[in-house]
A and B are shown apart, each in its own frame.
Chain A
Amino acid sequence: MSRFQWLMITACLLFILQNSFAQTPDDVFTRGNELYRAGKYQEAIREYDRILKQGIASAEVYFNLGNAHYRNEQLAQAILAYERASQLRPNDPDIEHNLKLVYLKTIDRLEPLPEMFLIQWIRTIGSLVSTDTVRMSFFISWILLFVSLALMYLVLRSEIIRIARFVFFASLISVVIWAVMMGFQTFQETSHDKAIITSHTVTAKSSPDLKSVDAFVIHEGVKVRVTDAVGDWVKITLVDGKVGWILIEQCERI
């Protein structure tokens, strides 16, 4: 055997060995949880971060990371982790509970602007039913729509036609409703324009310039919407409608 082949075999063996000794994300997660239980929050955070750095996005990991940050008194980081967990698994009661709890610890109390009633309705309904339910319902009404249409034009019995017409219009309406809700949920899931203020105190400027007039002051943990970015500056909109520019490192996107 040539030297090259030997080299290849050793490389392969090394690769296999390395893989078998490498820790699976599950192991790291378990160790992180053990460290958390032992009160070593800093170390636990490091373990969780290692999993997330591998490109694994899991609601459980983010949730535990949020708990560890919370215990470690890193408010903004805790909120960030919970928000990410909530994005991966919307309407989870545990995540929502902890989020509410941690938001109570933030300094700012912002009064949300009133929303248009239609959007508010859709949001309420959208948060009551899960994405899977919406998708399934959309799919079923979509099929019903065409089945009833086919029945209407293929069957020669007036009673059946009458029923099929009713089903057709009912499923037409429900297809539209479910589609709107599906679009709304997808939009909320995929929009990454929300950010959390990570600096303790931030003075927002009225334009992306240090010399410009101060717009308002906010503190760590506030959830903002990022609407624009210029150089090192991002334009943020608060829930109460205030708009200002802050430095990009003062906040982190969810």
Chain B
Amino acid sequence: MPRLLFETAGREASRRLKKARAMLEQGESENYYAEVLKALTEYLEHKLRTPKATFVLEDALIQLRNRNVSNEVIQLLKSCLEQVEFIRYAPASDTTEKRKELLDNAAKAIDGIERMFGKRSAA
């Protein structure tokens, strides 16, 4: 059975994060951040069916909220993306702990979205 991108988005994102972890261990920090950024944005594009050209992070986060993704998960995702952006322009604040934390947070955020997306809220 062929799968839609919407359905494979989660798996694809975890695959990219795993790749990013390998890069981290080899010390390729440039590629590592690019990979994490790609994992997150591509995941959102596929999950929300937004073409790359019209993808705006703010809109994406609003859509996630409309689809019953909890605020904590959205904040986690936002902080991950901010961290990636920030370190790109201020490499001085980069530490190995922060990189590892970023990976865990990104995985957690994607996992949270996968679980809550489109489901009725527990409340």
Which A residues form the contact surface with B (CB < 8 A)?
Answer: 152-153, 156-158, 161, 165, 169
Q: Which residues of B contact A169 (CB under 8 A)?
A: 1
Instruction: Tell yes or no: B23 within 8 A of A by CB.
Output: no
Output the nearest chain B residue to A164 by Cβ-Cβ distance. B4
A158 in complex: contacting residue of B1, B7, B48, B49, CB < 8 Å: B7
Task: Kindly state the interface size class of chain B when it binds its partner.
Answer: 10 to 19
Task: Show 11 residue pairs from A and B whose CB-CB distance is below 8 angstroms, ordered by the A residue.
Answer: A152-B4, A156-B6, A156-B49, A156-B117, A156-B118, A158-B6, A158-B117, A158-B118, A161-B6, A161-B7, A165-B1
Given contacts A156-B67, A156-B118, contact A161 B48 (CB under 8 A): no
Prevailing SS type, chain A contact patch = helix
Q: In the complex, which of the residues A152, A157, A158 has the most CB atoms of chain B within 10 Å of its own CB atom?
A: A158
Q: CA separation between A172 and B7, bound complex, in Å?
A: 21
Q: Mark B59-74, 1 if CB is under 8 A from A, else 0.
A: 0000000010000000
Q: CA separation between A152 and B1, bound complex, in Å?
A: 13
A153 to chain B, nearest CB (A): 8
Q: Which residues of B contact A165 (CB under 8 A)?
A: 1
Output the nearest chain B residue to A159 by Cβ-Cβ distance. B118
Contacting A at CB under 8 A, from B96-118, are: 117-118
